[in-house]
Amino acid sequence: MKVGVLGTGDVGRVLGSGFISRGHEVKIGTRDPGQDKAKAWVAKNGAKASAGTFEETAKFGELIVLATLWEATPTILAMARPESFTGKVVIDATNPLDFSKGIPPRLSIAGDNSAGEEVQRILPAARVVKAFNSIGNAHMVDPKFPGGPPDLFIAGNDEAAKKQVADIAHAFGFPNVVDLGRIEASRYLEALAMVWILEYFRTGNANHAVTMARK
Ligand X SMILES: NC(=O)c1ccc[n+]([C@@H]2O[C@H](COP(=O)([O-])OP(=O)(O)OC[C@H]3O[C@@H](n4cnc5c(N)ncnc54)[C@H](OP(=O)(O)O)[C@@H]3O)[C@@H](O)[C@H]2O)c1
Q: Which lies closer to ligand X via its Cβ, residue 160 or residue 198? A: 198
Name the closest residue to ligand X (Cβ). 9
Q: Which lies closer to ligand X via its Cβ, residue 69 or residue 125? A: 69
Closest approach, Cβ 140 to ligand X, in A, equals 7
What residues make contact with ligand X under the rule CB under 6 A? Answer: 7-12, 30-32, 67-70, 72, 75-76, 93-95, 97, 133, 136-137
DSSP H/E element including 119: helix 115-122
In angstroms, the CA 211 to CA 148 distance is 11
| CA angle (132, 146, 17) in 5-degree steps | 35
Q: Which lies closer to ligand X via its Cβ, residue 1 or residue 78? A: 78
Buried b / exposed e along 152-188 (16+ C-beta atoms within 10 A): bbbbbbbeebbebbbebbeebbbebbbbbeebbbbbb
Q: Are 63 and 164 in contact (CB under 8 A)?
A: yes
Reported in sequence order, the residue ranges of the chain that DSSP labels E, i.e. its strands, are: 2-6, 25-30, 49-53, 63-66, 89-92, 97-98, 106-107, 127-130, 152-156, 177-179
Closest approach, Cβ 32 to ligand X, in A, equals 6
Closest approach, Cβ 33 to ligand X, in A, equals 9
Closest approach, Cβ 211 to ligand X, in A, equals 15
Q: Which lies closer to ligand X via its Cβ, residue 22 or residue 31? A: 31
Q: Which lies closer to ligand X via its Cβ, residue 30 or residue 211? A: 30
Closest approach, Cβ 128 to ligand X, in A, equals 14
Q: Which lies closer to ligand X via its Cβ, residue 15 or residue 89? A: 15
Closest approach, Cβ 183 to ligand X, in A, equals 16
Buried b / exposed e along 39-63 (16+ C-beta atoms within 10 A): eebbeebeebbbbbbbbbbbbbbeb
